[in-house]
Amino acid sequence: MALGLVRTLVRFWSGALFLPLSLNNILNNILITDNPMHIDKELTKKIAKTARLELTNSELEQFTLDLQEIVKAFSVLDQIDVAKTESSFRPVEQKNNLREDKETDCLTQEEVLKFTKNNRDGFFIGPKTVE
C-alpha cells in the first residue's frame, strides 16, 4: 500500500504514466525490506534522476521531507499483528465462467485462404518485422 502511494506521488511529481524498472527497485528497497533505507537528499536525487525529474534545491528538500513522512506514516503498519488475519488478496471471490466445450465444424485451410490475396504455400503472408 505504501509503495503504491509513493508511486502515485512520483507520478504526480513527474507527470509520468509509468515508473522505470530501476525506480520500482529503489522504492521496493525503501518500503518493503525489513530494514528500510534512510531517506536523505542523495536518495531523493537518485529517485528523481531515475524518474527523469529535474528538481530544484527547494524541491529536493521538500520531496525528501515528503518521502520521510510517507515512510514514517506507513511504518505503523509494521506494528500490526496480522498473524491470524486471512489474506485479502482477492476480497471478492472470483470464479471462471467457462462455456461448454462443443465441437463445431471449422473452415478448411483452402476456404480460409481464399479470402485473402496475401498467402503463399498454404500460409498467410504478413509484413516483414525483421530486416
**pLDDT tens per residue across span 106-128:** 999 999 999 898 999 989 998 88
What are the sequence ranges of the domains in the chain?
Answer: 19-77
pLDDT at residue 16 in the model: 44
pLDDT at 94: 76
Please tell me whether residue 34 adopts helix, strand or coil conformation: coil
* 40-75 tens-digit pLDDT: 899 999 988 988 889 999 999 999 999 888 888 888
Convert the pLDDT of each residue in 1-24 to its tens digit: 445 555 555 554 444 444 455 555
Comparing C-alpha atoms, which of 53, 36, 76 is closest to residue 62?
53
115-121 long-range contacts, CB within 8 A, separation 24+:
none
What mean pLDDT comes out for the span 80-101?
A: 79
Identity at 126, one-letter amino acid code:
G
